[in-house]
Structure 1
Amino acid sequence: MTVVPPARPRTRRHGRAVLLAAALAVVAALVAELVGGGAAGAAARRHPHRAHQHRTHHRPHHHAPASRSAGTTTAPAPTQRPAASPRPSTTPTVARSWGVTGPGVPSDLSGLDQLTGATGSAPGVVMFYVAWSLHSAFPTASAAAIAQHHAVPEVTWEPWDPSQGVTQPTYSLARITSGAFDSYLRSWAQGIKAYGAPVRLRFAHEMNGSWYPWAEGVNGNKPGSYVVAWNHVRAVFAKAGVRNVTWVWCPNVPFTGSTPLGGLFPGDANVDEVALDGYNWGTTQSWGSTWQSFAQVFGPGVAQLSSLSTKPISIGEVGTTDVGGDKPQWIRDMWTTLASWPRVRGLVWFDFAKECDWRIESSADSFAAFTGGLAGYLAG
């Protein structure tokens, strides 16, 4: 099915309108390619007390979000807090980049060239999800295909079976640390080393929530066990002599009741980058979600990361609905906020239309707001 963003009203600046229409046609082609390649069979869930989504079903090498599963426990929405200003830092040495994840990735990358043409900038990161229950080898061919599109593959590497919920003793942190998965870890370490090009690994993300079996306080996991498991996984890779991995530590944006980040952080010696996942749900959710600006969603968390670490900061996943507010203005405000946060060096846009339409191209104005601010962000 081809998805075409709504057309903007015709103005006297017909030439600009024609250019915009052409760009939107390219985006429509992208959407058609991506949805056609990856929408079938993709499913997931979203937790009701955080600005994020996570997944319950998968396909080989990836799985994609959809609606929350029936068994998800409902909890109060996070308290909306004023945005905090991240701590100033020294002049950044890492160039800014942007990335994307969406339906079909990584098995179908046919839309990336169209996306590059439409936005005027090639995504520097293409992110996808791999569950340990697949017992799959490192997807060398998919990684190489992403690299051919001038992007770095980022694997959100999830120690669980997405169909089995939170309580999965097989994937407890203690079992990971005990070496129960070392053979699997070694196979990935050897595969990535043989691949040779840069790879980003986002292992066991959003560990400060309660919706994954690697979170402390669920699945029999004790306080302090996350850092031990993280360091064990890294040690397996170090022993294999892997030098081409960027280790991305990525909690969810903090919320009332989330596990404090300080006890989950492995330390600067054991991470290469720190990140946050967060979303503006607007007024879409029955648990009382409210419209939040980019700064409100990410500000407190970015401030905490700035205090915890001297490593580069990135936005691991981001998206906004258009229900309850002005999505184009939200995106413009995002670029303005990021310009004032020099520590934040990258973002990955969650380009799915699921329980909310998170996509960049959900409307002509949203797409124009994204492309209008992208070049300035990358130049910062």
Structure 2
Amino acid sequence: MKKYLFYVAVVLLFLNILLIREVAAESDPVELKKNLENAINKEEWTYAATYSKELAVFHDTNQDYDQAVQYYRATADYWAKAGHADWGIVNLIRADHIDTEMDLLVERIYLSEEKVAKFEPPSGTYLGMFVAGKRENGRVNKVNDLYGKKHALYLTYTPWRKKYQDTNSYFPLSFAEKVRENGGAMQIGWEPSNGLDDVVDDDYVRQFAREAKATGIPVFLRFAGEMNGEWVPWSGNSEKYREKFRLIHDIMAEEAPNVAMVWSPNFLPRHNIEPYYPGDNVVDWVGFSLYTIPFSHGKEVPGGNPIDYLRPLYEKYSHKPIMLSEGAVSHYSYELDKDYSEWAAGQIGNMYGFLPRLFPKVKAITYFNLDKRTTNYDNQNNNYDMGDNQLVDITYKRIIASNWFLSDVRASSAGHKASKFERIENISKPTNKRNCFVYVKLPLGEQPYLVAAYQGNNKLAESYAQPWEMKIDFSKVREREPITVIAYDCNLKSLVKKEFMGRR
């Protein structure tokens, strides 16, 4: 991940410029509310956004997060009315950082008749890894033993027109053979390093495609990823990008039927992702690069959450299977020389425990297992290597042991048994014992110690670890009474409490 929060800095710059306007910078919330109401009545949306932002910051500073969330989101609405919807994104992100959420979800087993894409499983999530951690050090065959479970996908990258001398090939055949020997599939970031003008239908591209076919394994081809970011040389011309993506798709369809085309922007900046979308008919999977870090642009950002980052993109693109084509959680900030073990373990829980269950079209997650200090490219601010942090490593291994995570990529078709979790209010009269989990999000990345479900004075179930999984016997649940879920801290003080009713 390169400068993936660049856009946030740009938005903040715009907001600071706008705040130079002669708007009363009142610290009194009563006066600010009057000014806001006056601006709304006059439909002066730039002023409304500014006053609303000041109210949001006031409540945020005083840790009145519920009020702050409302004003941050209102600020985004006012910027949209002012014709600058993209200027409001930073406020939506901050609102997500300090918001509180709780949902009770219940598993539903069903026969899937949905048409699936190439290599898409009916349900569940493929495990993937970029094997650059110090323990595995590029060795695919070490992953199974190190993490206690076979992984389905292995990521590598190749620059445009690189020749692999050991195999006299343009496709990384040695790596592909190691993946094949380990029973895996391959994701490859194919990067047009010389820019899009060098992407043509020539012998190089054709040979690359034929060699991809010769591997005999499923290949997820991530052509020119992160195209929405100014840090890559193939960014900047969305029309040409779409043309080149379609060209590569057509060549692969002709030469390499084992290749699935992955269109994979970075999760930020959001505002310019859509212009690069080349069309449903040439995209098999949609991927995103998505990293969660504790420190960015000079300040701590503990409220960052991969679920919140992905949500607006998932809502737009979930008509396709989605993968996190690369993503990770930093457990150490070299900028601060500070350890974030507990925070990072919680974010691993969000990324693996919650995210694919909340967003069931997320069918693959590839962890970018790397300590950036071991590289000589990009920034070197974060350590994502799970082998360097025992707590993160244990959390990852515990969560991926679930049957939800898949170890093999296979061709799929409709008519298979599938599983998904649905909010209890959408479930009609569950009557038997069901797998459930509770999604809890607290401000600034705080995690509960215990989550329990009750009906009246009767404890139905409890859980002491993310993703707060529990079995609830609905035959013992009274239909017309709510289920109360409470998240506790380590002193058994209630952090958040919510009542749930099933659909009648």
Q: Normalization by structure 2: what TM-score? A: 0.51
Tell me if 1:227 matches 2:242. Answer: yes
Task: Provide the residue aligned with 1:319 in structure 2.
Answer: 328
- Equivalents in 2 of 1:119, 1:135: separation in Å? 32
- Equivalents in 2 of 1:224, 1:120: separation in Å? 45
How far off its partner does 1:175 sit? 4.4
- Equivalents in 2 of 1:141, 1:227: separation in Å? 31
How far off its partner does 1:156 sit? 0.4
Could you report, residue by residue, the CA deviation over 1:111-143 in whole angstroms, capped at 9, with x for unpaired residues? x44431232211111101100152451122320
How far off its partner does 1:150 sit? 1.6
Structure 2 unmatched runs, 5+: 13-88, 102-111, 115-120, 165-169, 333-339, 373-380, 407-418, 420-504
Task: Provide the residue aligned with 1:121 in structure 2.
Answer: 149
Structure 1 residues 82 and 121 mapped into 2: Cα distance closer, same or farther (>3 Å)?
farther
Tell me if 1:298 matches 2:315. Answer: no
Task: Provide the residue aligned with 1:367 in structure 2.
Answer: 393
Structure 1 residues 102 and 50 mapped into 2: Cα distance closer, same or farther (>3 Å)?
farther
Could you report, residue by residue, the CA deviation over 1:154-191 in whole angstroms, capped at 9, with x for unpaired residues? 1100000xxxxxxxxx52x3442xx3x62210110121
How far off its partner does 1:300 sit? 2.1
How far off its partner does 1:301 sit? 2.0
- Equivalents in 2 of 1:343, 1:120: separation in Å? 25
Task: Provide the residue aligned with 2:261 in structure 1.
Answer: 247
| Aligned with residue 206 of structure 2, among 178, 186, 189 | 186
Structure 1 unmatched runs, 5+: 1-44, 52-73, 161-169
Tell me if 1:143 matches 2:170. Answer: no
Task: Provide the residue aligned with 2:368 in structure 1.
Answer: 350
Structure 1 residues 192 and 114 mapped into 2: Cα distance closer, same or farther (>3 Å)?
closer
Task: Provide the residue aligned with 1:24 in structure 2.
Answer: none
- Equivalents in 1 of 2:276, 2:382: separation in Å? 30
Identity over aligned pairs, percent:
23
- Equivalents in 1 of 2:292, 2:133: separation in Å? 24
Could you report, residue by residue, the CA deviation over 1:242-281 in whole angstroms, capped at 9, with x for unpaired residues? 211011111111336x4132x2112221111111111112
Could you report, residue by residue, the CA deviation over 1:67-99 in whole angstroms, capped at 9, with x for unpaired residues? xxxxxxx856772255699xxx98661542111
Q: Provide the secondary structure at the position in 2 that maps to 1:155.
A: strand
Give the 5 Å matches for 1:147-162: 147-160=180-193
Task: Provide the residue aligned with 1:202 in structure 2.
Answer: 222
- Equivalents in 1 of 2:327, 2:163: separation in Å? 28
Tell me if 1:212 matches 2:232. Answer: yes
- Equivalents in 1 of 2:355, 2:221: separation in Å? 27
Is contact 2:129-2:155 (8 Å) kept?
yes
- Equivalents in 2 of 1:358, 1:267: separation in Å? 33
- Equivalents in 1 of 2:226, 2:143: separation in Å? 28
Tell me if 1:275 matches 2:284. Answer: no
Structure 1 residues 318 and 108 mapped into 2: Cα distance closer, same or farther (>3 Å)?
closer
Task: Provide the residue aligned with 1:96 in structure 2.
Answer: 125
- Equivalents in 2 of 1:224, 1:282: separation in Å? 35
- Equivalents in 2 of 1:316, 1:190: separation in Å? 23
Tell me if 1:332 matches 2:349. Answer: yes
Q: Provide the secondary structure at the position in 2 that maps to 1:121.
A: coil
How far off its partner does 1:224 sit? 1.6
- Equivalents in 2 of 1:227, 1:272: separation in Å? 14
Q: Provide the secondary structure at the position in 1 that maps to 2:272.
A: coil
Q: Provide the secondary structure at the position in 1 that maps to 2:401.
A: helix
Letter in 1 for 2:315: A
Give 1 or 2 for the bigger CA radius of gyration.
2
Could you report, residue by residue, the CA deviation over 1:6-63 in whole angstroms, capped at 9, with x for unpaired residues? xxxxxxxxxxxxxxxxxxxxxxxxxxxxxxxxxxxxxxx8216259xxxxxxxxxxxx
Structure 1 residues 194 and 115 mapped into 2: Cα distance closer, same or farther (>3 Å)?
closer
Tell me if 1:49 matches 2:19. Answer: no
Q: Provide the secondary structure at the position in 2 that maps to 1:326.
A: helix
Could you report, residue by residue, the CA deviation over 1:220-256 in whole angstroms, capped at 9, with x for unpaired residues? x3x42211110111222334x3211011111111336
Number of residue-to-residue matches in the alignment: 285
Letter in 1 for 2:301: T
Structure with more strand by fraction:
2
Letter in 2 for 1:242: A
Letter in 1 for 2:291: Y
Aligned-CA RMSD value:
3.1
Task: Provide the residue aligned with 1:167 in structure 2.
Answer: none
Letter in 2 for 1:353: D
- Equivalents in 1 of 2:218, 2:385: separation in Å? 27
How far off its partner does 1:196 sit? 2.9
Structure 1 residues 322 and 194 mapped into 2: Cα distance closer, same or farther (>3 Å)?
closer
Tell me if 1:378 matches 2:378. Answer: no
Q: Normalization by structure 1: what TM-score? A: 0.67
Is contact 2:213-2:257 (8 Å) kept?
yes
Is contact 1:115-1:122 (8 Å) kept?
yes
Structure 1 residues 352 and 210 mapped into 2: Cα distance closer, same or farther (>3 Å)?
same
Task: Provide the residue aligned with 1:36 in structure 2.
Answer: none
